Each structure stands twice: as structure tokens, then as C-alpha cells.
Amino acid sequence: MYNLTSTILTLPKIIGCEDFPKSDHGKLLVEDIERFINEQYRVNGKYVLDAFNMAATHQLFMDGKRVDPSTFGRFLSRAIVGKVLTAYKEYLSTNRAQAKPYNPNQLPEHQTKKLTPEEAHDLILKWCREDGELPTIAPYLTAYRYLRERNLVKEAGNETVDTRRTLLLGKSIKVEVSAKRIEAEKWYLMNMIR
């Protein structure tokens, strides 16, 4: 059994009802709602708060209709609490039942292997030929090792020498650029992009 008194006292503010009366009647209402929640739902205060916050932001539905706090009346009651908690329970069960997206690379047969320096080089070459420009995101550091092994680029340190903003999956992200990446990019620019 959970002690929900403090949680129940905050619920009217969340959904726009009046506070419980500061009388014996108000105290009895709070105790009755607490007993109702413990007997019928057996949930903790966080669960109740999450449910009422979703109701307040009009994110809960019951029988295809939005749970609307403006229709709850003047004071919080068992019926209102039951409606919100049942709608929240349905919301949670629906979301848990929906198929979750997965990354196929997480499956054993799709485990990725690390690119060799030569494979990274070949991949960047392929992208340069196809697009006619340097790829924004590519395995430049691995390809740098390939270029360095063949003395095609000069020795460079690991320090960050630049930061760039780039678009990745529709979001602008900041990318730190190392001296090795700069050397590799220069080589691909001079030898592949015309």
C-alpha cells in the first residue's frame, strides 16, 4: 500500500480543479481517493502524477475520445481519478504493445566489422566518384592510415584543429576535425575532385 496523500493533494492544481476543502470533509475525500487508488490500481505516486500530467496536457484518450480535464467539475473525485488512471493504463499498454524500431546492426548476422584502412580509402574514393564532392561524414581517420602507409600524406597529430557544423539526420551537429582528417581531405580533394 502506498501513502499517496501528498500526491493527491497536488492533483487538483494539475488538472484545474479546486483544492480540497480544509475541513474534515476534505480530509475524508483525500483518504477516500487514496484508498480507492490503493485498492483498485495499486500504483505509486509517480505513476499517478505522470497520469495526471498527461491528462492536463491532453495526451490521454479513453474510448477514442480525449480525456478533457475541463469536464472534471469543481472537485476531484473517485470517478475522475479512475478515468485518468484507466486512460493512462491503456496508454501504457498500447505503447508497450507497439512494435519498437530496431537497428538491424544489432542482430548477430548483421554485426559490423571494422573497416581496414584500405577499405576506408576505397569507400571514400567510391563516394567521391559518385557525388563529385567530399563526403561530409566518412571514415577519414582510417583512410588517413592507408594514405600515410603509402607516404601520400604528411605526418599529422591527433589534435583538433577545426570544428564544423554539419547536418546529420536533419539535425545540425558540431564536428571536431583533427589534423589527420584535414590531411586526408586535402589528398582526396586534390586527387579525386576535379
pLDDT at 27 over 70: yes
Distance CA 174, CA 194 (A): 27
- Specify the pLDDT at position 148: 93
- Specify the pLDDT at position 86: 93
What digits encode the pLDDT tens for the residues 128-166?
A: 888 788 887 788 889 999 999 999 998 988 777 777 766
3-state secondary structure the chain: CCCCHHHHHHHHHHHCCCCCCCCHHHHHHHHHHHHHHHHHCCCCHHHHHHHHHHHHCCCCEECCEECCHHHCCCCCCHHHHHHHHHHHHHHHHHHHHCCCCCCHHHCHHHCCCCCCHHHHHHHHHHHHHHHCCCCCCCCHHHHHHHHHHCCCCCCCCCCEEEEEEEEECCEEEEEEEEHHHHHHHHHHHHHHCC
Q: Where are the domains of the chain?
A: 5-97, 108-192
Distance CA 194, CA 182 (A): 18
What digits encode the pLDDT tens for the residues 91-136?
A: 888 776 554 555 555 555 555 678 899 999 999 898 888 878 888 7
User: What's the average model confidence in pLDDT over 167-180?
Assistant: 72
What digits encode the pLDDT tens for the residues 50-91?
A: 999 999 998 998 888 888 887 777 888 899 999 999 999 988
- Specify the pLDDT at position 49: 93
Backbone angles phi, psi at 25, to 5 degrees: -65, -45
Q: What is the dihedral of CA 151, 155, 156, 158, to 10 degrees?
A: 90
**What value does the mean pLDDT of the chain take?**
83
- Specify the pLDDT at position 53: 92
